[in-house]
Amino acid sequence: MDNLSFNMQPQQPAPDEALIPGSPEFLRAVRKAAGWRVSPRHVDPVIVALHQAGKPITVERVAELVNALRGERSHRQRRNTDLWQMLGAHLALQGQPAHPEAQRALLGRIKRLVAADLPDSVLLTVAVHVAAAGHRLEAHLVAHVVRWLLEHYGSAELDSEQLERVLPQAIHAALRRSQTRRPARRTPARPSTSRTRTGRR
C-alpha cells in the first residue's frame, strides 16, 4: 500500500495528566496521599491558591498543603471558609506557619494595624490578592494596602475585578509607605583615633 506506518498502541497519560483537579479521581488520589478523608471544601481553595500563585497543581502538592492547614478551626473560621483556606494555602506556599491558629494570628495583627472595624471577609480578600500578586504575607503590608484602599475609595470592599485592577498601585504605595516609616538604622560611633597624651614625669 503506502509507506506510512501507524502506531496502534494508545499512549498512556502520565499519572497527574490523567487526574484533572476538581475531579472525583483527583479527590480520591489526594485522600490517599493525605492519609485521611479530605473533602472538596479542603481541596478546592488549595487548588485556587496554587493556580493564583502559578504553581503546578499535583496530587502530592495539594495533599501536602491540605495537611499543613489542619487544626482546630474557630467559630469565625467556619464563615468565609474558602478565604481562610486560601489564606492558609498561600502561607504554606511561602513557608510560613499555615494552621488555623497562625491564620487567626495574622488576621488579628492586620486588624489591629488597620484600626478600623472591617469584616474578616474584606481583610481576607485583600490578603489573598496580595499573596496572589507574589508578595509575602506580612501584616504591615496588607494593612497598608487596606488603608490605601480606604483613603482612595472610601472602602476596601471592592469586587475581585476592581481589586485586581487597583492592587498594583495600592501595593506600590504601601511598600513606599512602609519603607519611609521604617526607622533608620543607627550606625555605631567609631572609636576616637586621637591618642590621649600623658603628661611627662
Q: What is the pLDDT of residues 62-78, one digit of tens each?
A: 999 999 998 888 888 88
Distance CA 199, CA 201 (A): 6
Q: What's the whole-number mean pLDDT along residues 31-56?
A: 92
Radius of gyration of the chain, Cα coordinates, nearest whole angstrom: 25
- Phi then psi dihedrals of residue 133, to 5 deg: -80, 0
Which amino acid would we find at residue 10?
P
Distance CA 2, CA 6 (A): 11
State the pLDDT at residue 163: 80
54-58, 139-143, 153-157: which range is least confident on average? Answer: 153-157
Neighbours of 188 (CB within 10 A): 6
Which pTM value belongs to this model?
0.74
Distances (CA, A) of 6 to 1, 3, 11, 12, 14: 13, 10, 13, 16, 22
The answer to whether 86 and 45 have CB atoms below 8 angstroms apart is yes
The residue with cell 483613603 is: 151
66-70, 107-111, 152-156: which range is least confident on average? Answer: 152-156
pLDDT digits (tens, 9 = 90+) for 4-25: 333 434 343 444 445 788 889 9
167 or 184, higher pLDDT: 167
Residue 180: band (very low, low, confident or very high) from pLDDT cuts 50, 70, 90: low
The answer to whether 69 and 88 have CB atoms below 8 angstroms apart is yes
Query: Is the predicted pLDDT of residue 182 greater than 60, yes or no?
Result: no
Three-state secondary structure along 93-140? HCCCCCCHHHHHHHHHHHHHHHCCCCCHHHHHHHHHHHHHCCCCCCHH
